[in-house]
Amino acid sequence: MTHILAISGSLRKASYNSGLVRAAEALALALEGVTVAGMTLHGIPLYNGDVEAAEGIPAAVTALKDAIRAADGVLLVTPEYNNGIPGVFKNAVDWASRPASEIGEIFGGKPVAIIGASLGGFGTILSQNHWLPVIRTLGMRPWFQGRLMVSRASSLFDGEGNLTDDETRKRLSDFVAGFAAFAGA
């Protein structure tokens, strides 16, 4: 069984990226030997080294680290804000890399793929590209055989952020299957 952790980088209730996560979870049910479990970033505070020193790692961060550790692969489902990585998403990864002595244990060699949805015509191409130095620094193993950038998302999702477009659903299913094969190899 190949277990993929899909992390939504958006906190918005009707997020298109959280909708992609839910769709990936549902589509994985039709894939033999693959599970996808979604996770949000709710409850993760802004990183503060003083808080870390005084109080340790917050419970929400520990849960994220445990989920990454247990997964065979991590799917970063990223919005794009101002042509880059959303601060809340980068913040969560920064917290998960603490203490630095655990980076290799949590992230080292972990298969990773990046997808995302946005309102614009270019999908999340710049955000996805901005993730590359981060995953390189963490020592993750990126999957470059597939690419999924969902553009003009408002026409592909309903008002609750659920994916309604069959073509995008097919592309997502193919992407998840390909990434799962990579992560499970």
Q: Which of these, 183, 171, 179, lies nearest to 23 by C-alpha position?
A: 171
pLDDT of 185 higher than 90:
no
Interval 81-105 mean pLDDT = 97
29-78 pLDDT, tens digit per residue, is 999 999 999 999 999 999 999 999 999 999 999 999 999 999 999 999 99
Overall domain count for the chain: 1
CATH of the domain at 53: 3.40.50.360
Task: Give the domain range for residue 94.
Answer: 2-184
Q: What is the pLDDT of residue 52?
A: 96
At residue 41, the 3 state secondary structure works out as: coil
pLDDT of 174 higher than 90:
yes
Q: What is the pLDDT of residue 19?
A: 98
The pair phi, psi for residue 28, each rounded to 5°, is: -65, -25
Interval 120-148 mean pLDDT = 96
Buried b (16+ CB within 10 A) or exposed e, 175-185: bbbebbbbbee
